[in-house]
Chains A and B, each alone.
Chain A
Amino acid sequence: GENVEQHPSTLSVQEGDSAVIKCTYSDSASNYFPWYKQELGKRPQLIIDIRSNVGEKKDQRIAVTLNKTAKHFSLHITETQPEDSAVYFCAASGSNNAGNMLTFGGGTRLMVKP
């Protein structure tokens, strides 16, 4: 099955700096890669996603890049703000009998210092 590795597990940046989180996956058939933000005690919220026919996608301060050959994808947050502090999860879409399922990375705890 799919295996997703995420690094770093914790990341501390100064407000205004950029943050980069990287993930690798094992299943070359995976074709959908979402990123979720989870605040303490709350549900994961989809913040951006990318499909395998695209190499890069941007939404305001957030961007995601995908390298299918190397099987890795990254989340880039620019001009970080304290409210960006949360746990971020990457995921890759595999498949099972019921359709596509997500395999999550281990998560990155991002702390933005004011």
Chain B
Amino acid sequence: GAVVSQHPSWVICKSGTSVKIECRSLDFQATTMFWYRQFPKQSLMLMATSNEGSKATYEQGVEKDKFLINHASLTLSTLTVTSAHPEDSSFYICSAPTSGQGGETQYFGPGTRLLVL
């Protein structure tokens, strides 16, 4: 399958810190990427759709000023958790459709585990 990488794999930070997570498609281009959040023993919840060259589309209830998304190239999307608080601690996972343009088959990055103290 297609390869999606994510960095860092885990972060521990103090409350109030901003954390940037990178998602890269390694062997294909993706004009669309998706960002999910997964709390322990729960399902994946879509946070936002990242669109190359334009604004991200956020799901209801997700604060766009807190979760900044930048999709600056066809292979890179970044999610910045601004002024992180303990309740933001979660597993953040990105995915990219192999068609590159919001097609159907999605492959996931390895995820970033965020712990805010």
Contact = CB atoms under 8 A, between A and B. Distances in A.
Contact of B105 (A46, A96, A97, A106): A46
Contacts of A106: 42-43
Chain A contact residues (Cβ within 8 angstroms of B): what range?
20 to 34
Given A98-B51, A99-B103, A43 B93 contact: yes
Contact of B43 (A41, A43, A105): A105
B44 A101 contact: no
18 contacts: A43-B93, A43-B109, A43-B110, A44-B108, A46-B105, A49-B104, A97-B57, A98-B57, A99-B101, A100-B97, A100-B103, A100-B104, A101-B49, A102-B34, A103-B46, A104-B43, A104-B45, A106-B43
Contacts of A105: 43
A93 B104 contact: yes
Interface of B: 1, 32, 34, 42-46, 49, 51, 57, 93, 95, 97, 101-111, 113
Name A's interface SS: strand
Contacts of B104: 32, 34, 49, 51, 93, 100
B49 A96 contact: yes
Contacts of B1: 46
Contact of B111 (A32, A42, A107): A42
